A = this chain, B = another copy of it.
Amino acid sequence: MALVVQKYGGTSVGTVERIRNVARRVAKTYDEGNDVVVIVSAMAGETNRLVALTREICEFPNEREYDVVVSTGEQVTIGLLAMCLQSMGYAAKSYLGSQIPVRTDAVHAKARIDSIDDARVRHDLDAGSIIIVAGFQGIDPDGNITTLGRGGSDTSAVAMAAALKADVCEIYTDVDGVYTTDPRIVDNASKIEKISYDEMLEMASLGAKVLQIRSVEFAKKYGVVIHVRSSFNDHQGTLVTKEDADMETVLVSGIAYNKDEAKISVLGVPDKPGIASQLFTPLAHANITVDMIIQNVSSDGITDMTFTVPKGDYRKALQIVGESAREIGAAEVRSDEAISKISIIGVGMRSHSGVASKMFQVLAQEGVNIQMISTSEIKVSCIIDAKYTELAVRVLHEAFGLGAEDVQQE
């Protein structure tokens, strides 16, 4: 007998019929002798409807009241799922974030979880009940409703699993698990059976949208084992867990790509202390997240600076950088929206050399020019021309033997 936390996203509970399907899965897990705690999102489309209502009232709604409105989406789902289980003859009880309580800070619309009280849930579990908890929401120290921001239900689930010391946190989604790369690009992309937290974090932030980054950080911090799987079949999914010896034998676990960045270059910058700060501080003040930054070796006291920003902030960033460039006496600003970031990820890289050079070689063979490079212990990212994205993902996937037919071990 185990304690299982399950999380079902908006698509999995998008209709009454799908809520029934979720109830059957939950009941099955319970019937197998497990204690079950279920975290649910709002029914698909509901959060968008509520957000649209707030925007109709005013462009920048007060965030406390925004949270009051949008948190109702999950509240409807927990009630419906609990009554569905009861109508099937199971003891089930719903909980709002405020009832658990899930305590958060007071940053409305993107609150962080401080603590979760497990007393009421544990009491009801001991009494044989299935517990249904509203994801995405909590309560601040003054008793105000808070929400965790989009996708926050994953974090709710992992935090609940941590608080209850659950054996596993199953995140149900509409795909079978985490894949070696995007199956829409590579036909034989294969499901990863086991992936480390760090790899998953790189995968998530590099464009694979299966799990919220914050939930993975939370899982890593508290050692929660996540099982990513589909709510539409019974296949074994992907385990996200702490690194083990097995994982290191795999050089590259996955290929990620991200087309949502744009590149800005400031050329002919006088190379003196404080230049980088003068360039990037105004961007930070404008809340623009700069991703990759590359500064060339200086020649004759003149250097170049290139960096990437989210495409959504591109126009604004360009304007800010234009002003900064004039102030610091830079020669020219160039920019390019048609770029893509391709990354190879794997904890095995730590102990094996030659992975990066193999990546560069593979791309070169296909005539793909590398514009920028950035590396960490467990990943290598290259900025390339956007039009080569699919080609690059395909040849790298092939070169590192990630296809479903291949077995890549050393």
- Where the two chains meet, the residues of A that have a C-beta atom closer than 8 Å to any C-beta of B are 16, 19-20, 50, 53-54, 56-58, 60-62, 64-69, 71-72, 75-76, 78-80, 82-84, 86-87, 93-94, 96, 98-99, 143, 145
Q: Can you list 10 contacts pairing A with B, beta carbon distance less than 8 Å? A: A53-B76, A53-B80, A57-B84, A57-B87, A58-B83, A61-B83, A68-B82, A68-B94, A69-B83, A96-B145
Residues of B within 8 A of A56 (CB): 16
Residues of B within 8 A of A60 (CB): 87
* Cα distance, A68 to B97, chains bound together (Å): 13
Known: A66-B83, A99-B143. Is A76-B61 also a contact (CB below 8 A)?
Answer: no
Residues of B within 8 A of A61 (CB): 83, 87
Interface of A is mostly: helix
* Cα distance, A58 to B87, chains bound together (Å): 7
Total identical chains: 2
Quick check: A69 and B75 within 8 Å, CB to CB? yes
Contact partner, A94, options B20, B65, B79, B94, Cβ 8 Å: B65
Quick check: B57 and A68 within 8 Å, CB to CB? no
Residues of B within 8 A of A99 (CB): 143
Quick check: A57 and B16 within 8 Å, CB to CB? yes
Contact partner, A79, options B69, B75, B80, B143, Cβ 8 Å: B69
Quick check: B98 and A82 within 8 Å, CB to CB? no
Quick check: B87 and A53 within 8 Å, CB to CB? no
Name the residue of chain B whose CB is nearest to the CB of A74.
B72
Contact partner, A68, options B53, B62, B79, Cβ 8 Å: B79
Residues of B within 8 A of A86 (CB): 58, 62, 65
Residues of B within 8 A of A68 (CB): 75, 78-79, 82, 94, 96
Name the residue of chain B whose CB is nearest to the CB of A132.
B65
Known: A58-B84, A84-B57. Is A79-B66 also a contact (CB below 8 A)?
Answer: yes
Quick check: B65 and A72 within 8 Å, CB to CB? no
Quick check: B94 and A57 within 8 Å, CB to CB? no
* Cα distance, A16 to B53, chains bound together (Å): 8
* Cα distance, A56 to B80, chains bound together (Å): 9
Name the residue of chain B whose CB is nearest to the CB of A55.
B16
Residues of B within 8 A of A58 (CB): 83-84, 86-87
Name the residue of chain B whose CB is nearest to the CB of A77.
B69
Name the residue of chain B whose CB is nearest to the CB of A23.
B57
* Cα distance, A87 to B55, chains bound together (Å): 11
* Cα distance, A87 to B62, chains bound together (Å): 8
Quick check: A54 and B83 within 8 Å, CB to CB? yes
Quick check: B69 and A57 within 8 Å, CB to CB? no
Name the residue of chain B whose CB is nearest to the CB of A67.
B79
* Cα distance, A53 to B19, chains bound together (Å): 11
Name the residue of chain B whose CB is nearest to the CB of A120.
B143
Residues of B within 8 A of A82 (CB): 62, 65, 68
* Cα distance, A79 to B82, chains bound together (Å): 25
The interface centre, meaning the residue of A53, A68, A69, A72 with most chain B CB atoms within 10 A of its CB, is A68
* Cα distance, A96 to B78, chains bound together (Å): 18
* Cα distance, A53 to B84, chains bound together (Å): 11
Contact partner, A50, options B50, B65, B76, B96, Cβ 8 Å: B76
* Cα distance, A334 to B292, chains bound together (Å): 88
Residues of B within 8 A of A78 (CB): 65, 68
Residues of B within 8 A of A20 (CB): 57
In the complex, the 6 A-B pairs of residues with the closest C-beta atoms, listed nearest first = A69-B79, A68-B79, A58-B87, A72-B72, A65-B83, A65-B79
Name the residue of chain B whose CB is nearest to the CB of A134.
B68
Residues of B within 8 A of A66 (CB): 79, 83
Contact partner, A76, options B72, B79, B83, Cβ 8 Å: B72
Residues of B within 8 A of A71 (CB): 75
The interface centre, meaning the residue of A66, A69, A94, A98 with most chain B CB atoms within 10 A of its CB, is A69
Residues of B within 8 A of A54 (CB): 79-80, 83
Quick check: B98 and A83 within 8 Å, CB to CB? no
Residues of B within 8 A of A145 (CB): 96
